Structure 1
Amino acid sequence: MALFSYHQHSSEMFLGFIIFLVFKGVLGATFTFVNKCDYTIWPGILGKPDLGSTGFELKKGASRSFQAPAGWSGRFWARTDCKFDDSGHGTCGTGDCGSGSIDCNGLGANPPATLAEFTLGSGSQDYYDVSLVDGYNLPMMVEANGGSGTCASTGCVADLNRRCPSELKVDGGDACNSACRAFGTPEYCCNGAFGSPSTCKPSTYSQMFKSACPKSYSYAYDDATSTFTCTGADYTVTFCPSSSPSLKSLMGSGSDSGSSVEQAALATSSWLANLATGDSIRIQPCAAALFVALNLILSLLVYL
């Protein structure tokens, strides 16, 4: 009798687990947005079907959640320096969607803007990434909660506005363009004769982005190290996530070592940017390799 009771209980638990998975696949995922920036932001949403909002205000320290159905596909980003009147009409300094209102109404972000992109599976894997292909306006982190599979966190926590080359920087320094947007040439935009993975390779600019944010998309064909999967998870999208403990201890030690390392990294990045546009002085190939290696080492020291 006790053995029968045990097997009955186990069967009920297994059945409950299967029902949970089925309903989880139907329900999709909950997206929670958290603002850790020192200022108000206005997240934008572009995707189908509609989640009930296409844009909203999120004050410093606030959070807000939305339920997305299975099969939902779309993107999120933050708009900054927005000025809206009492009727909700206005514009934003970065990430503006051009709708003239708080709601984006089916319009995407005007580059440059850091993007979080999702495709939710229907009882199968979700795909997600953080993309800098359209440039960067603020740090962003995506974390998967309660799912199965790899479910790795991804994002860009580095302040790329501070290390943005002058030729990519927007007026005011509040965002950093991609090389495609800045120059518009096929080799940077991965179109025309450069419209395939075999012909469009990482540029010096995309490599700078990648060294600072190794898990983010740095150019159009950066799939291998930038796309992540998870099954049955909910997701937290954090704007301006807190710095890592190692970076906090480095910059808060009271010495000048942290600032010296960062200044050296910025200087090396500027040299690489000049090299890409042909403005740098001529140097031997071995010296160029040394500079690239130094840039990667310094980026790891500052941002990891």
Structure 2
Amino acid sequence: MACHRAGLLAMLILAGFGLQGCKNLKEIEPPETVLSLPPPVTPIPLAVLPVVTPAPVSLQPLPPLPPIQPAQVAPEQPAAALSAAVAQPRLVVWNNCSTLPIWIASSGNVPPPATRNVRILPGQSYSFYIPNAGLSSTRFWPKAWCDDLGQKCTLGSSGGDGQDCPAGGCAPPIDSKFEASFGAVGVDCAKDNKGCDWWDTSAVDGYSLPFKLEVDSQCPQAKKIDCLGLSFAECPAVEWLGKSVGNQDLRVVDHVSSKVVGCYSPCGKLTYSNWGNKVGQHAPDSDVAKMYCCPTPPVSPQQCRAGPVEQSAFVNLIHQKCKNVYGYAYDDAAAWHIVETFQNALIERLLHSSPRLFAKACEGFLHGGGCYRTD
């Protein structure tokens, strides 16, 4: 396209110059000049040329063309022989909501598409290409009701690398998250951790949209993750978070529209002050929050699992409606997944299920106050 565009530009410039030159010539009046004619010239008679008869031409048939040889197809290379620079579509995100477009945001180390926020229309999908050499510490999360660039969203504008926030400030980062470290293709997972895919779907900070995750059939040992039962209506409106703060409402309320747009985890409620959350003034290692956020140190994994967060209404909801997902920091037994790396290994489907369940999930958000239009 660059060559064609440069050629077109050059041609336009040349045409403009030529037309301007013709106009200038027309404005100049030629001087009066008297022309004298030469004397008439006596015509020279033409010689009579003999008629030449062409020799007969004998047409011979062309020799037959050689037979077409079949194309030589290179043998398929093993995964280990693939260049580390090659990328494969190893994560596919579907939007199976019937009417709601979504945007998928990703962490800064993910190879960028045309934009940091990818718009996915209802019923459509987007494939994220991951280098065969692997990629560590990636994060993906959904956004909705955004501007044309996928920014300033009612749901999911919680900041991050390359992300913008509404005028009233970033939302609390309670989004439904998919986190993964993708291993190197062709490396034996049993012998080298670099050949393993590690991932989790985290609700440690809270959740926004329901989702379902399906793993490629090449990974039969991977656990199924189905969080379609999550909704804003299920979010605990009364959660005991200790004597200092008492009962708290974990529903995330948009400070402009007063609509519910997500659900805090106990740790998120105590540590995120976005949008005027008065309880969210505590550090994760404070006396008020440490047994819900479980920073190590001072809280060991064993102390965390024996503490109040394991028995909280929020974590019980996650374990019931969203099995195999992190409900708190040391929920590893429920949520940590590892498989050998394959191409096309992971498929995440947002709001994906049978039409009945799928419609029910969307309807729950619409009537629960979370799915609403701002235009």
Specify whether residues 210 and 60 from structure 1 end up closer, same or farther in structure 2 by C-alpha distance, changes over 3 A only: same
Aligned to 1:104: 163
Larger CA Rg, structure 1 vs 2: 2
**Cα displacement (A) at 1:90:** 4.0
> 2:366 — aligned with what?
none
- Alignment equivalent of 1:240, drawn from 351, 354, 359: 351
Q: Distance between the aligned counterparts of 2:229 and 2:302, measured in 1? A: 29
How do 1:1-304 and structure 2 match up within 5 A?
19-23=77-81, 26=84, 27=86, 29-30=88-89, 31-38=91-98, 39-52=100-113, 53-69=115-131, 70-73=133-136, 74-82=138-146, 84-85=147-148, 88=149, 90-98=151-159, 104=163, 110-122=172-184, 123=187, 124-148=195-219, 150-166=221-237, 167-171=249-253, 172-184=259-271, 185-191=289-295, 195-201=299-305, 202-204=310-312, 205-231=314-340, 232-234=342-344, 235-243=346-354
Q: Distance in 2 between matches of 1:20 and 1:110?
A: 45
User: Which string of whole-angstrom CA distances, capped at 9 and with x for unpartnered residues, describes residues 9-46 of structure 1?
Assistant: xxxxxxx67x3331569456522111012301111011
Contact 1:146 1:233 in 2 (8 A): no
Cα distance in structure 2, aligned partners of 1:80 and 1:63: 15
Secondary structure of 1:56 counterpart: strand
Contact 2:151–2:157 (8 Å) recurs in 1: no
Q: Cα 1:28–1:99, aligned 2, differ >3 Å: closer, same or farther?
A: closer
Percentage identity across aligned positions? 27
Tell me the secondary structure at the aligned position of residue 127 of structure 2.
strand
TM-score between the two structures when normalised by the length of structure 2: 0.54
Which ranges of structure 1 fall in alignment gaps of 5 or more residues?
Answer: 1-15, 252-304
Between Structure 1 and Structure 2, the one with more helix by share is 1
Between the aligned partners of 1:195 and 1:159, the Cα distance in structure 2 is: 29
Aligned residues: 227
Shift of 1:51: 3.7
Q: How much has 1:66 moved relative to structure 2?
A: 2.0
Q: Distance in 1 between matches of 2:355 and 2:252?
A: 27
User: Per the alignment, do residues 25 and 195 of structure 1 end up closer, same or farther by CA in structure 2, a change over 3 Å counting?
Assistant: farther
1:189 and 1:42, CA in 2 relative to 1: closer, same or farther beyond 3 A?
Answer: same
Structure 2 contact 178–200 (Cα < 8 Å) conserved: yes
**Quick one: structure 1 residues 29 and 143, their matched pair in 2 at CA, closer, same or farther if it must change by over 3 Å?**
farther
Distance 2:316 2:222 in 1: 25
Question: TM-score, normalising length from structure 1?
Answer: 0.65
**Cα distance in 2 between the residues matched to 1:196 and 1:93:** 37
Partner amino acid for 1:96? S
Question: Structure 2: any 5+ residue segments left out of the alignment?
Answer: 1-74, 165-169, 188-194, 238-248, 254-258, 272-288, 361-375
For 1:48, what is the secondary structure of its paired residue? coil
Partner letter of residue 200 of structure 2?
D
Bigger mean CA deviation after superposition, 118-127 or 50-59: 50-59
CA positional deviation for 1:49: 4.7
Please give the root-mean-square deviation of Cα atoms over the aligned residues, in Å.
3.1
- C-alpha deviation, 1:57, in angstroms: 1.2
Distance 1:99 1:37, change over 3 A: same
User: In structure 1, what residue type is equivalent to 2:122?
Assistant: K
| CA deviations over 1:84-128 (Å, ceiling 9, x no partner) | 15xx3741122214369xx539xx984211001111112211111
